[in-house]
Amino acid sequence: MKANFLLISLLALTLSACAGKPKEPDVSSTQTAQSLYQEAKEVLDNGLYNRAIELLSAVESRYPFGPLARQVQLDLIYAHYQAGDVQKALAGIDRFIRLNPNHTELDYVYYMRGLSNLKADENALHNMLGIDRADRDLASTRQAFDDFKLLLSSFPASKYAAEAKNRMLSIKDTLARHELFVADYYMRRGAYLAAANRGKYIVEFYRDSPLVEQALEVMVESYDKLGLTKLKDDTYQVLKLNFPQNNKF
């Protein structure tokens, strides 16, 4: 009777220990690197990103120095990005660049770094509701701009160059809106010099933005509040010269 009790207890402990172990990818130890990678690639292509990450990680763990190693790393970057885990995507990107500074697909890696940094600043709820979020901290967005800029300067003939240019234009608009938002914040609090400087920044660095007109308006109003008549008149002349239909003042 005592022996039976001990046997039951041991079985219970064994089952408990098994239940506590993290679940590992269901892959056969006899699979070759190519067959395991092919399975992971099919899962990735079907949009099952979390499962693809499991399988790709298994390939990387089992064959860290094989001929597929770099391609697996590239696929993991993409899978993490698509799964919404941009921090892991960025970590994989930085590691890849550090270990493969002359890789033939480095332009793609910089492109993915730009996309990942953009995604880091996204807010799905606000995007869905159409709420302007130019007031948020834009550190990652600024970094994305630098990533795309580096891609264009280092790989001007890249197939990602055109998209990088479009992304940069969009980012510039976002950054200009951010500056305008901050300028409005200062205006409402009577910090007119700070507001004018924000408007001036837009005019100087985002001169092709459609928000330049509003930036000049902020400058005119701020200089007026500060009693800086010459600066106000000069800025007003620039405003009317570039936007003759403007009738705010």
* pLDDT of 115 strictly over 60: yes
Residue 248: band (very low, low, confident or very high) from pLDDT cuts 50, 70, 90: confident
- Long-range contact pairs involving 141-147 (C-beta distance under 8 Å, separation at least 24): 141/117, 141/171, 141/174, 141/175, 142/171, 142/175, 143/117, 144/113, 144/114, 144/115, 144/117, 144/118, 144/171, 145/114, 145/171, 145/172, 145/175, 147/110, 147/111, 147/113, 147/114, 147/117
Indicate if the pLDDT at residue 7 is higher than 50.
no
Q: What percent of the chain has pLDDT over 90?
A: 73
- Residue 138 phi/psi, 5° resolution? -110, 30
- Tokens describing residue 67: 């001929």
Write down the pTM of the prediction. Answer: 0.76
Q: Which of 84, 85, 74 is nearest to 111 (CA)?
A: 74
Q: What is the pLDDT of residue 32?
A: 85
**Count of residues in the chain:** 249
Given a contact cutoff of 8 angstroms between Cβ atoms, the answer to whether 155 and 106 are in contact is yes
Rounded average pLDDT over 180-195? 95
Residue 111 has which token pair? Answer: 């492109």
Say if residues 200 and 238 touch (Cβ distance below 8 Å). no
